[in-house]
Chain A
């Protein structure tokens, strides 16, 4: 089955701790994205990567970091510098200039205790 997987589905973190969210895709897509979704605010772009070993900041990158060492994987680290990390995090991927579009993973719900 081709698709995007995110793990874990639910994640709890104590204040002051860094935490890493996993995102893997087997669609052979070049581009990958991380979004944050809060009630009433729609999707906000955190980071995106169009190619391995390269990524760009989105609208709300502060307090987050990413890596893109493999085409299939785009992990997101939520650092202790992120002041309000409790949210629903969505990973997506798309081909680069292809005829297909962007697809989403099932999401990770992060709660800071």
Chain B
């Protein structure tokens, strides 16, 4: 079983839609959770970072962590064509240690 599972998509939505991206994990020791956005042929860019259960909001993005279910989500409100990218979830026991990544979900927002 992989440490982190993520649906690879691809996911295609109309502009303005609410997007939900999800990851599940198996290691209950994970404490830090991240979402990265990666455009084609670029390095991943950190979008959201949290180390507690619950919701964290930043503009149109909301990260949700449910440690009891070992499940994290990223919600994108009012999606824009510029949101078209691959989204990677990642997690670790503590920073400085090994990070574990999902395989990424490819998102296309259609104008």
Contacts and interface: CB of A to CB of B under 8 A. Distances in A.
Interface string B92-111: 10111111011110000000
Q: B32, B41, B95, B104: which has the most chain A beta carbons within 10 Å?
A: B95
Contacts, number: 66
A40 B8 contact: yes
A102 B94 CA distance: 11
> Which of under 10, 10 to 19, 20 to 34, or 35 or more describes the interface residues of B?
20 to 34
Contact of A31 (B42, B96, B103): B96
Contacts of B44: 43, 90, 104
A15 to B, nearest CB: 24
A94 B95 contact: yes
B32 A58 contact: no
A37 to B, nearest CB: 9
A63 interface: no
A18 to B, nearest CB: 24
Contacts of A72: none
State the main secondary structure of chain B at its contact with A. Answer: strand
Contacts of A92: 99
B39 to A, nearest CB: 11
A40 B103 contact: yes
A101 B43 contact: no
Nearest to B33: A101
A101 B31 CA distance: 12
Given A40-B8, A102-B90, A97 B96 contact: yes
B57 interface: no
Contacts of A31: 95-97
